[in-house]
Chain A
Amino acid sequence: MNRSGWLWAPSLAVYAFLYVPLAIVVLFSFNDSRLSAEWVGFTLDWYRKLATDDAMLAAARNSLLIALTAALIATVLGTMAGIAMHRYRIRGLTFLVLTPVAMPEILLGVSLLVFFIQVLNLTLGLVSVLVAHITFCIGFVAIIVRARLAGMDESIFEAARDLGATPWQSFRLVTLPLIMPAVTAGALMSFTLSIDDFVITFFTAGVGVSTLPLQIFTMIKVAVTPEVNAVSTLLMLVTLTLIVLASRVAPDALKGRT
């Protein structure tokens, strides 16, 4: 055993703290018991039940639709904001972009609600949730993209222009490939933030629309059923798949060291 052997104990404890609850959720989603307290036997019943639960399926569809669209739009806008924050020293721009990130969610939720209803006179629904999610995701993408740019040699971008690239070509052929890991990370983060957001969604969804977190919340108001475990497990699976996909896409761009 090496000298730092004793470090194993605390690190094991931390990992256990992080992963045991997740493991239990996964495990009990296959438990053949209405009460989740003890292991009875293996079953896929909860997943079958899930597949016929129309409310849950509708919520899942909404969540995916919102998360994908919000991630896409927030990534485009956030990347632009990140580049602008890095390249042009516009007074107050950083403050404007990053405030929604620092703002307590409850405050953002309430203010968006007031804004949608009283100022825009909008009927709450998919669109209002989508706009709200984009709002709080932009800042995260912008931070990541700017951090990536800050570590890079500015003359690389000048070299592109110098060698005959128009500003657009320079962006497409040099800037974008080099910040791709940050853009991918930003998109992934936006997707994750959006798909599990509760507070802001709760305020901006209105009565007609439900998302997965809202639906799960409605269900556990009654009891924590294995069905909740099943839907949580699926959610975890989606997120994990995305992370694996992102790390498959990223390595090529990760070569972009200066």
Chain B
Amino acid sequence: MPLLEIRNVTRRFGTLTAIDRVTLSIEAGEFFTLLGPSGCGKTTLLRMIAGFDAPDAGSIFLDGRDLADKPPEQRPVHTVFQSYALFPHMSVARNVAFPLQMAKKPPEEIAAKVKQALAEVHLEDKGASYPHELSGGQKQRVALARALVTRPRMLLLDEPLGALDAKLREQMEIELISLQRDVGITFVFVTHAQPEALALSHRIAVMRDGRVEQMDTPSRLYGFPANRFVADFIGNCNMLPATVSEATPHGLRLAVGALGEVAAPPAERARAGQAGVLALRPEQVHIVAANAAHELKNHFAGRVRDFLYIGDVTTYVVELENGTRIEALLANSAPGRARFFEVDEPVKVAWRHDAGIFLLD
């Protein structure tokens, strides 16, 4: 039995349908992420699990029990808020002790557990501090310690890293992963930042306009997006409009605009004559000098339009002879060879016949 089951949940605000018949289940011990652009309903869904909001239709089950009549304080689920929501008039230790006091634990147990919880987030010496004396990262840790100290069945995290700068965010991501592994509690994480989702999650539900577009592991979402939205939202993607000219179990032949025939891996639902896009990740596209020899089936001549040097990689924007632009990623791994091609230099782009994925419109 899954830990959390959301069945056909719908939530409307006036004429807006924030959540539209969403069904999903989350297993115990999972790091599960709700990912989507702002306004996709991910936070509304989280608030309904926490009990701050209620579905208009459908139900939410935790451990097989319907949560409908349970107010937030009776749900074994705690939330880490985006703004941390620490109690400003209480010291760090009293903040962390709060849920234990609400659960009417004896004082000795509270003291011991607060100490342990602060140790877990490396804030042993901050117990007497007040929230306004802490940095953003420290507040974040206190919020985590407070939400985990009673060992809830599930921890909900609402864009908890949103307010942190890039370096700190990466550090907190690593800490979150190890914390989740150590305490073994199910995490439900809400974010609009796809790198964060890919880095942290066991499974991700990609949401748009109140619906779940695709639900899978990070690598399958990235490698096999179900539609254009997911392909575009997760990572970068070249989208080449294409029509199926031949479909066999071994592969597709696609007519891609003025490029002509392109070979692509098989797609289950593709039939000859259908229109869609060929989605190609920039790192699947090779870029080589115009006169270089190669044995790839799909290759096209073009010129470098732009490049973006990021340090570890360089992204080239190549304009093909017919005007189509394709992004290609090249690793800068060899020292002294940080950049291979200049703007306006003639080059060739190529990709393997089994690279890319055909997505129906």
Q: Which of B52, B82, B99 contacts A163 (CB 8 A)?
A: B99
How does the 8 Å CB contact mask read for B264-275 relative to A, with 1 for contact and 0 for none?
000000000000
Q: Which one of A162, A177, A253, A255 has the highest number of Cβ atoms from chain B below 10 Å of its Cβ? A: A162
Contact A160 B89 (CB under 8 A): no
CA distance A161 to B72 in the complex (A): 6
Contact B130 A165 (CB under 8 A): no
CA distance A258 to B90 in the complex (A): 11
Q: Which of A153, A162, A174, A257 contacts B79 (CB 8 A)?
A: A162
Known: A158-B52, A164-B73, A165-B73. A178 touches B89 (CB 8 A): yes
Which residues from B are CB-within-8-Å of A258? Answer: 88
Which residues from B are CB-within-8-Å of A177? Answer: 89
- Tell me if A121 is interfacial: C-beta within 8 Å of chain B: no
Contact A166 B89 (CB under 8 A): no
Contact A156 B85 (CB under 8 A): yes
Interface size on B, residues (CB 8 A): 26
Known: A158-B52, A163-B78. A255 touches B85 (CB 8 A): no
Closest to B47 in A: A158
Contact A162 B72 (CB under 8 A): yes
B113 to chain A, nearest CB (A): 14
Closest to A177 in B: B89
B47 to chain A, nearest CB (A): 9
CA distance A164 to B88 in the complex (A): 18
Contact B72 A158 (CB under 8 A): yes
Contact B102 A155 (CB under 8 A): no
CA distance A159 to B130 in the complex (A): 17
B17 to chain A, nearest CB (A): 22
Contact B132 A257 (CB under 8 A): yes
Known: A159-B79, A255-B130, A257-B132. A164 touches B85 (CB 8 A): no
Q: Which residues from 48 to 93 on chain B have a C-beta closer than 8 Å to any C-beta of chain A?
A: 50-52, 71-73, 77-79, 81-83, 85-89
CA distance A162 to B86 in the complex (A): 12
Which residues from A are CB-within-8-Å of B89? Answer: 177-178, 252-253, 255-256
CA distance A258 to B131 in the complex (A): 8
Which residues from A are CB-within-8-Å of B102? Answer: 163-165, 169
A251 to chain B, nearest CB (A): 12
Contact A155 B87 (CB under 8 A): no
What's the count of A-B pairs with C-beta under 8 Å?
70
CA distance A147 to B143 in the complex (A): 27
CA distance A155 to B88 in the complex (A): 12
Give chain A's interface secondary structure class: helix
Known: A178-B88, A257-B88. A162 touches B130 (CB 8 A): no
How does the 8 Å CB contact mask read for A162-199 relative to B, with 1 for contact and 0 for none?
11111001000110011000000000000000000000
How does the 8 Å CB contact mask read for A230-258 relative to B, with 1 for contact and 0 for none?
00000000000000000000001101111
Interface size on A, residues (CB 8 A): 23
A254 to chain B, nearest CB (A): 9
Known: A155-B81, A257-B132. A162 touches B50 (CB 8 A): yes
Contact A255 B73 (CB under 8 A): no
B11 to chain A, nearest CB (A): 17
- Tell me if B310 is interfacial: C-beta within 8 Å of chain A: no
Contact A163 B98 (CB under 8 A): yes
CA distance A125 to B82 in the complex (A): 55
Contact B72 A153 (CB under 8 A): no
Which residues from B are CB-within-8-Å of A153? Answer: 83, 85
CA distance A174 to B83 in the complex (A): 16
How does the 8 Å CB contact mask read for B144-158 relative to A, with 1 for contact and 0 for none?
001100100000000
Contact B132 A159 (CB under 8 A): no
- Tell me if B166 is interfacial: C-beta within 8 Å of chain A: no
Contact A155 B72 (CB under 8 A): no
Interface residues of B (CB under 8 A from A): 50-52, 71-73, 77-79, 81-83, 85-89, 98-99, 102-103, 130, 132, 146-147, 150
Interface residues of A (CB under 8 A from B): 153, 155-156, 158-166, 169, 173-174, 177-178, 252-253, 255-258
Supplied contacts A163-B73, A163-B102, A166-B73, 20 more A-B pairs, CB within 8 Å: A156-B85, A156-B87, A159-B81, A159-B87, A160-B98, A162-B51, A163-B78, A163-B150, A164-B73, A164-B99, A164-B102, A165-B73, A165-B98, A178-B88, A178-B89, A253-B89, A255-B88, A255-B130, A255-B132, A257-B132
A-B contact pairs, 29 of them (CB 8 A): A153-B83, A153-B85, A155-B85, A156-B86, A158-B79, A159-B79, A159-B81, A159-B86, A159-B87, A160-B98, A161-B71, A162-B50, A162-B52, A162-B78, A163-B78, A163-B98, A163-B102, A163-B146, A163-B150, A164-B73, A165-B73, A177-B89, A178-B88, A178-B89, A252-B89, A255-B89, A256-B89, A257-B88, A257-B132
